[in-house]
Homo-oligomer: A and B are copies of this chain.
Amino acid sequence: MRELGEFALIERINAGRVQAPGVLLGPGDDAAVVAAPDGRFVVTTDMLVQDRHFRLDWSDPRDIGRKAIAQNAADIVAMGAVPTAFVVALGCPADTPVEVIDGLTDGMWAEAGRAGGSIAGGDVVRSPQLVISVTAFGDLDGRAPITRAGARVGDTVAVAGRLGWSAAGLAALAAGVDRGDELVAEALAAHRVPRPPYAAVLAAIIDAAAGQVDSDTSAAGVLGSRQSAAAGTVGSSAAAMPTSLTDISDGLLADLGHIAEASAVAIDIGSTALRDPELEAIARRLDADATHWILTGGEDHAFVGTWSAQRELPPGWTPIGRVLAGHGVTVDGARRPGSGGWESFSGVDSASEPEPR
């Protein structure tokens, strides 16, 4: 890295990359220009620090790059928006092998492409350890953002994507199991590279928007109007718009807690609906608790949302519970102690644990 120099490095990072159509001006000037056809853009940012959020001896650089983009893209999708572009600030030691940077950036570009965007620009600086700071952008195409605040008493709670697999992979790594049978290998892969079901979530939202009778397409100041319109009217489509939505980054219970708090409701989920026999097989092998992984593991970047109980759930969504009057989150009607989710400044400093928003 030191030998290459910064400007040559930036040139190397950007060489041969093809920008998404929404990136109107890419790297190379004081700033980039990104399309926002909606007249608004959705934005989120996350920082990942070496040995805190990832370890180079547990994940290869390409996987780390993919994960950094995936966790930001999942936040964009969790607002009901389509990812359009990313910018990345990268801190790295001067003796970082250039292959590590190549792997990181290749992984970032691969995942950006999977999510539907490209990397419009960034910054490279020297720092004592690798630090990756990603900012992601999305477009709502005239829809209201789907916040955590819209869940209503009686709604169905449902998840898209697998839960607990990344936590199982982390537990395997922590136990020194870095290979094993097919199931363990799958958990390790899930930990190294989350695969948030972007397309399934966005397809459901876009279908629901298309089916709404209230087809106002104005994009000016419609925070919430679409969402509330969706509540009462029955469109031509069978599928409904979620009333609330979030990605599971802190753990299912913690993230449901955010929905419950923002919506001023209680949520109860059923443990039976969450059971995963394959995950239980891995847990037995590692002498661990699969239910704990499912309820508190955050790094799968699955999605959880709430839907009117009068409407069909879209394909790819599994019902797991119900919105109730009150506050807090319960499992089978009971509060679960010690499952508050991840906080940055408490607890042990184990690498690769999920970060809250």
- Which A residues fall within an 8 A CB radius of B? 1-2, 4-7, 9, 24-25, 28-49, 52-53, 75-76, 78-79, 81, 85, 87-91, 94, 120-129, 131, 133, 135-138, 140, 145, 147-149, 221, 223, 245-247, 262, 343-346, 349, 355-357
Contact = CB atoms under 8 A, between A and B. Distances in A.
29 contacts: A6-B345, A7-B356, A28-B262, A29-B149, A30-B44, A30-B245, A31-B136, A32-B42, A32-B43, A32-B44, A33-B41, A33-B42, A43-B85, A43-B87, A43-B135, A45-B87, A45-B88, A45-B123, A45-B133, A45-B135, A46-B89, A47-B123, A47-B131, A47-B133, A49-B126, A87-B135, A89-B133, A89-B135, A131-B131
B40 A345 contact: no
Number of copies: 2
B128 A129 contact: yes
A345 B8 CA distance: 10
Contacts of A121: 43-45
Nearest to A27: B357
Contacts of A49: 91, 125-128, 131
Among A31, A38, A94, A247, the one with the most B-chain Cβ atoms within 10 Å of its Cβ is A31
Contacts of A79: 29-31, 33
A145 B357 contact: no
A196 to B, nearest CB: 12
Contacts of A5: 343, 345-346
Nearest to A124: B344
Q: Which of A138, A246, A344 has the most CB of B within 10 A?
A: A344
Contact of A221 (B24, B148, B246): B24
A34 B40 CA distance: 5
Nearest to A254: B7
Interface centre among A47, A76, A87, A343 (most CB of B within 10 A): A47
Q: Which 5 A-B pairs have the closest CB atoms?
A: A36-B36, A133-B133, A31-B44, A47-B89, A6-B344
Contacts of A7: 343, 356
Nearest to A52: B126
A349 B128 CA distance: 11
